[in-house]
Structure 1
Amino acid sequence: MDNKKFGEFIATLRKEKNWTQAELAQKLNVTDKAISKWERGLGFPDIKTIEPLADALGVSVLEIMQCEHKTDEVISTDGASQALMNTIDLVKEQRRKEKRDILRGAGIVGLIMLSVLAIDNVGWFAFATIWIQIIALVIGVALLAMGIHYKRQQKPCTTTFVVASVCLLYPIAWIIFLCIAFVTGIGPITN
């Protein structure tokens, strides 16, 4: 299913009813940001929201899934097959998103646990001077790889690259700070 086409179809139907995104969102019990995301082609509604969306906009589920008005009452085999394939694609995408969210959550929990263990083993000072830089470097490299992947898929990636840059520059700035401290004899390292 084409994100842009889906979003344009939803926006057209909403505007035909003279509703704001907030009004449609209220009818579906979602946020207006979710409606905006759908209409800009940045995502799809949850599969459970498709039928209420179709009802609210006064069209059939088939029309929503094919992103076009149907004037005939008879559904062709091709039309039904296409709608079914669109539904399957939507479910697959939602499952991928759920898995990605679970992996992100597990990664964050793991990082927090490793940080606590590192603090217990090496103490606050060593953690602050060494481990935070290593963690920032690893996160920066991971985000850079993710940003490149998003760029290849033509997905929005500016924020990913900005955060990756900050994470990669932080250890560099820390090393520069330590070198200046060593040369001047001020700070945590003296000559």
Structure 2
Amino acid sequence: MKQEDIGAFIRMMRKEKGMTQEQLAEMLGVSQRSVSRWENGKTMPDLSLYEPLCKALDVQVSELLYAKKMSDEEKTEHGEKTALSLLTTKSQLETFAIFTEVLIVVGIIISITLTKVLADTVPEMIITLVSGWFVWGIGLVLRVKIRKAILKLEES
């Protein structure tokens, strides 16, 4: 996925539709300068614009990302690769979610057990508790973020 190739593809499809940069920009709610930067390969469209851009150019997202018109067979092939990639990503996230659960348990163990066993003074108790809470908190935050990412993948 080369920025320059995608830009050239956007230009080609826009011209094929008989649109000016200004017309495409107006349809997408961006500036003409943004469209020019895309077409020159200097920047990429924001992800939120992919669907409306593809609709305006009458192409599929896979065609935009591969910067070429595709046959139905190629679209199916790329769709299957994308689906497999999503499944792999979901599997990796679920594996990482197990690690976050271990972090949560370790944080609880540090907070409760090690505070009683290792901490003799009040400052040592505070340090041990804060360390445990920190590990526990990191585990919880990561768990929430991973769960949101998994849900987002399942929606697509």
What is the TM-score of this pair, normalised by structure 1?
0.40
Structure with more contact order per residue of length (Cα contacts < 8 Å, sep ≥ 6): 2
What is the TM-score of this pair, normalised by structure 2?
0.49
